[in-house]
A = this chain, B = another copy of it.
Amino acid sequence: MSKFMNLARKFNCFYFNGDLQHCRPFLVCGKQVGVMQARVVEAACRYPDVFQMDSSGMISMHPSLTTYEERSARINHVLSQWKEERLFVTLKGWRNECYEVRTGFADPPLLKMDRSAACLFGVRQYGVEINGYTRHPQLGMSLWLQRRALSKPTWPGKWDNMVAGGLSVGHSVLDTALKEAEEEASIPAYLLANLRSAGSVSFYFESERGLFPNTEFVYDLELPPDFVPHNSDGEVDIFELVPVNQVMERIFTPEYKTTSCPTTLDFLIRHGFINSDNEPRLPELVELLHIPLHYLYSQSSSQSPISPK
């Protein structure tokens, strides 16, 4: 097994090793939007007017909650109680920033919940990441990496892509990219004109905090060799310009944010630095950067893909 493939299994640890047998499908309006681990199911069953378990073991938002507003308010109430009770470690990182819950990215939102709670329900999370790169006269092709501030609630002090941000309620994909580029790295507008959409990555990670079926919208931004990003919102410790061959070493260290590796690997593959010569399992690696998150929750699609089992 190559180092790249090992890494892909690490950020897809729930896809490969997830204990799905002890998880329950989570449904809203009859459509599956996530899965809940046993410890979350147990807590949810204390609120029979918010969560309903049917005879087959599926957990639904109570059908009497018929609007986006009602569902969002009731789940926020439950989450606030869990936060006070210190029931789940992830809620210590309460964000006061909400994520939408939807059956697919382009479907209407069914409810919103605090970003820190999404991993308790295994609902898909979306973010934006920008690969900032430069063709440096001495270093060659290089990527700008950020070290996350020690004050961040998740992955403090870890190396990360130049710009990254979650897609929260009320912001479009491109708006989020532009906003984060300005706040995190102070990229001026005339340079952001070069921002290029380059697709997305999808992976399924699990940590002690919960389940992360994550999709990152990926952008590339070529920067002039003399430009140096600097942080303006306190979320970044330092930026460092790292030649691509050093990036290809650093992503294997525990100092690199595991869930940022898919975007970095995708950049290295799209730009030819990882190829069939240095990674014989290239097709398998590429597939693991784009796993079918939108087809894993079968209750949410009328036509299910064939089963891998």
Q: Provide the bound-state CA to CA distance between A201 and B290, in Å.
A: 10
Point out the residues of chain B lying under 8 angstroms from A14, CB to CB.
306
Q: Are A306 and B269 in contact (CB under 8 A)?
A: no
* A255 sits at the interface (CB 8 A): no
In the bound complex, residues from chain B placing their C-beta under 8 Å from that of A308 are 292, 295-298, 304-305, 307-308
Instruction: Count the copies.
Output: 2
Across-interface contacts of A197 in B (CB, < 8 A): 269, 272, 275-276
Complex CA distance for A269 and B297, rounded to whole angstroms: 25
A307 touches B306 (CB 8 A): no
Q: Secondary structure of the A side of the interface? A: mixed
Q: Are A277 and B16 in contact (CB under 8 A)?
A: no
Using C-beta atoms within 8 Å of the partner chain, give the interface range for chain A: 35 or more
Residues from chain B with a CB closer than 8 A to the CB of A215 are 283
B contact residues around A293 at 8 Å (CB): 283, 287
Q: Nearest chain B CB to A184's CB is how many angstroms away?
A: 20
A284 with B196, Cβ < 8 A, contacts A17-B303, A304-B308 known: no
Give A293 to B307 CA distance when docked, in angstroms. Answer: 11
Q: A290-B289, A298-B308 are in contact. Are A284 and B199 (CB under 8 A)?
A: no
Complexed CA–CA distance, A20 and B306 (Å): 7
Once the chains bind, are B306 and A15 in contact (CB under 8 Å)? yes
